[in-house]
Amino acid sequence: MELWFTEKYSQNCGLTINVKNEIYSERTKYQDIAFFDSYDFGRFFTLDGYMMVNEKDEFIYHEMITHVPLAVNPQIKKVLVIGGGDGGTIRELSRYEHIELIHHVEIDERVVELCKQYLPQTACKLDDERVEAFYTDGVEFVKGKENFYDLILVDSTDPIGPGEGLFTKEFYRNCYKALNENGILVNQHESPYFPTNAKEMKKAHAKLKGIFEICKVYQFHMPTYASGHWLFGFASKKLDPIKDHKKDEWEKFNIETKYYNSLLHEGAFALPNYVIDLL
Ligand code: AG3
């Protein structure tokens, strides 16, 4: 008997993956989590039925969420990661020796525990000595923090379920306060293509625009997320992702990447007209 995982992008189309085995699943306090082994994407896990991470294409998302801001401000030392319980974002951050601290705020401790057990490819640096973990809601965590972080990475799910609060004005305002004057916020920004995703991405962008001086989106190609065309938001107080791109400084770090490079950094901010029209 064949087993297929399907995530619907609309009523009439979606992603479907032939699965070898379901490895584990549970209903945590916050969401359904499941791990599978597949033929084409290796081990993958889902939250509430949505593809989060698979072994084959996770490098694209995790390199793009991390190296873009580090190439705009290579001095980043204090980082806050909200979400990202799988650890892929922290794995990429941990490659920068000069980063001093990483506060990791994940609402669902089970995601972290299970990824440590079933997805070591991404979870391998969650216990790096610079990482301090807080199992709490990111929305609450940022309240009252002032002028502290160089970078906030919001590695969230879609804006339905436990991730919803991470797409609100109040949250973005508190992130703004929590960042210092060179501060950058990068957030998971949905896809511009299918109407349900595009609606959310448009809303998120409009909210951010009212709060941060500089507010851009950049794109990357993600085979297993709806339409394969996904975005991150780049918001900052004064650093511009292109004008302040420190290509040479970043290249000196000598970080080996499979997707990100300096040319692509600049190209990622060049958007198709239909995306510009949504912003
Ligand atoms: N964060 C989830 C991105 C959104 C996926 N959405 C979807 N499949 N409908 C990924 C976590 C990686 N650290």
Statement: the pTM of the whole predicted model exceeds 0.90: yes
For residue 228, give the H/E element and its range: none
Provide the pLDDT for residue 196. Answer: 85
Q: For a pocket test of ligand 1, which of 45, 50, 121 has the largest count of ligand atoms closer than 8 A to its C-beta?
A: 50
Provide the pLDDT for residue 191. Answer: 92
220 close to ligand 1 (CB < 6 Angstrom): no
158 close to ligand 1 (CB < 6 Angstrom): yes
Catalytic residue numbers?
155
Q: For a pocket test of ligand 1, which of 225, 230, 231 has the largest count of ligand atoms closer than 8 A to its C-beta?
A: 225
Q: Which distant-in-sequence residues (6+ apart) come within 8 Å of 24 by Cβ? A: 34, 35, 114, 118
Which residue type occupies 111? V
Q: Residues 227, 194: contact at Cβ < 8 Å?
A: yes
Where along the chain do its domains lie? Answer: 3-51, 58-276
User: What number does CATH give the domain 58-276?
Assistant: 3.40.50.150
Provide the pLDDT for residue 184. Answer: 98
User: What number does CATH give the domain 3-51?
Assistant: 2.30.140.10
Provide the pLDDT for residue 163. Answer: 86
- What CA dihedral angle connects 63, 165, 242 and 255, to 10 degrees? -20
Q: Residues 262, 72: contact at Cβ < 8 Å?
A: no
Q: For a pocket test of ligand 1, which of 52, 56, 156 has the largest count of ligand atoms closer than 8 A to its C-beta?
A: 52
89 close to ligand 1 (CB < 6 Angstrom): yes
- For ligand 1, atom 4: residue with the closest CA: 157
Give CA–CA dist 151/70, Å, rounded.
9
Provide the pLDDT for residue 251. Answer: 98
Distance 9 CA to ligand 1 centre (A): 13
As given in the structure block, the two tokens for residue 37 are 């082994």
Q: Going residue by residue through the chain, which has 279 residues, state the pLDDT in tens, using 9 for 90 and above.
A: 899 999 999 999 999 999 999 999 999 999 999 999 999 999 999 999 999 999 999 999 999 999 999 999 999 999 999 999 999 999 999 999 999 999 999 999 999 999 999 999 999 999 999 999 999 999 999 999 999 999 999 999 988 888 889 999 999 999 999 999 999 999 999 999 998 888 888 988 999 999 999 999 999 999 999 999 999 999 999 999 999 999 999 999 999 999 999 999 999 999 999 999 999
The CA radius of gyration of the chain, in Å to the nearest whole number, is 18
Among 202, 206, 212, 229, residue whose Cα is nearest residue 178: 212
- For ligand 1, atom 10: residue with the closest CA: 52
Which residue type occupies 141? F
- For ligand 1, atom 13: residue with the closest CA: 84
236 close to ligand 1 (CB < 6 Angstrom): no
Q: Residues 89, 127: contact at Cβ < 8 Å?
A: no
Domains 3-51 and 58-276 share a fold: no
- Please enumerate, as own/partner, the contacts of 271-275 that have beta carbons within 8 Å and a separation of 24 or more: 271/217, 271/219, 272/192, 274/192, 275/192, 275/217, 275/219, 275/231
Provide the pLDDT for residue 127. Answer: 97
Q: Give the SS3 label for residue 192.
A: coil
Whole-angstrom CA distances from 83 to 1, 70, 141, 153, 250 are 36, 19, 12, 9, 25
Give CA–CA dist 153/196, Å, rounded.
23
6: Cα within 13 Å, side-chain hemisphere: 10
ipTM of the complex model: 0.97
Distance 53 CA to ligand 1 centre (A): 7
For the CA of 156, the nearest atom of ligand 1: 1
